[in-house]
Structure 1
Amino acid sequence: MTISKEAPISLKIPLNNMENIIEVNKLKYKYDRDSEDYILDDLTFQVKQGEWLSIVGHNGSGKSTTVRLLDGLLEAESGEIKIAGEQLTAENVWEKRRHIGMVFQNPDNQFVGATVEDDVAFGLENQGLDYAVMAERVQEALELVGMQDFKNREPARLSGGQKQRVAIAGVVALRPDIIILDEATSMLDPEGRLELIQTVKTIKDSNRLTVISITHDLDEIALSDRVLVLKKGRVESSAAPRELFSRPDLEDLGLDQPFVNQVKSALSQSGFALPDGYLTEKELQEQLWALL
Structure 2
Amino acid sequence: MNNIIEVKNLKYKYDQSDEKYTLNGVSFHVKQGEWLSIIGHNGSGKSTTVRLIDGLLEAESGDIVICGDKLTVDNVWEKRRQIGMVFQNPDNQFVGATVEDDVAFGLENQGLPLEEMQERVSQALDLVGMSDFKKREPARLSGGQKQRVAIAGVVALRPNIIILDEATSMLDPEGRLDLIQTVKEIKDRYNMTVISITHDLDEVALSDRVIVMRDGQVESISQPHQLFIRKDLLDLDLDRPFTAELVDQLRQNGLDLPDRYFTEEELEESLWALLSNK
Compute the TM-score of the two structures, normalised by the length of structure 2. Answer: 0.96
Q: CA RMSD in A?
A: 1.1
Match of 1:54 in 2: 37
In structure 2, C-alpha distance between the alignment counterparts of 1:139 and 1:154, rounded to whole Å: 16
2:53 maps to 1:70: yes
2:133 maps to 1:150: yes
In structure 1, C-alpha distance between the alignment counterparts of 2:273 and 2:110, rounded to whole Å: 59
Match of 1:257 in 2: 240
In structure 2, C-alpha distance between the alignment counterparts of 1:109 and 1:249, rounded to whole Å: 34
- The 5 Å alignment of 1:95-244 reads 95-244=78-227
Describe the SS at the equivalent of 1:256: coil
2:249 maps to 1:281: no
2:19 maps to 1:40: no
Select 2:4's aligned residue among 14, 21, 25.
21
Output one character per residue of 1:243-289: Cα deviation in whole Å (capped at 9) or x when no partner: 11111221222211011112223333444332211111011111221
The amino acid that maps onto 1:206 is: R
How big is the shift at 1:159?
1.1
2:250 maps to 1:267: yes
Match of 1:6 in 2: none
In structure 2, C-alpha distance between the alignment counterparts of 1:159 and 1:143, rounded to whole Å: 17
The amino acid that maps onto 2:70 is: Q
Match of 1:7 in 2: none
Describe the SS at the equivalent of 2:210: strand
Select 1:92's aligned residue among 43, 51, 75.
75
How big is the shift at 1:167?
0.3
Describe the SS at the equivalent of 1:166: helix
Describe the SS at the equivalent of 2:162: strand
Gaps of at least 5 residues in structure 1 are 1-17
Describe the SS at the equivalent of 2:249: helix
Match of 1:4 in 2: none
The amino acid that maps onto 1:109 is: N
Percent pairwise identity: 74
In structure 1, C-alpha distance between the alignment counterparts of 2:186 and 2:147, rounded to whole Å: 15
In structure 2, C-alpha distance between the alignment counterparts of 1:75 and 1:53, rounded to whole Å: 22
Gaps of at least 5 residues in structure 2 are none
How big is the shift at 1:177?
0.4
The amino acid that maps onto 2:201 is: L
The amino acid that maps onto 1:72 is: G
Describe the SS at the equivalent of 1:112: coil
Match of 1:291 in 2: 274
In structure 2, C-alpha distance between the alignment counterparts of 1:216 and 1:247, rounded to whole Å: 15
Describe the SS at the equivalent of 2:184: helix
Output one character per residue of 1:76-109: Cα deviation in whole Å (capped at 9) or x when no partner: 1111111111111111111110000000001111
In structure 1, C-alpha distance between the alignment counterparts of 2:246 and 2:140, rounded to whole Å: 40
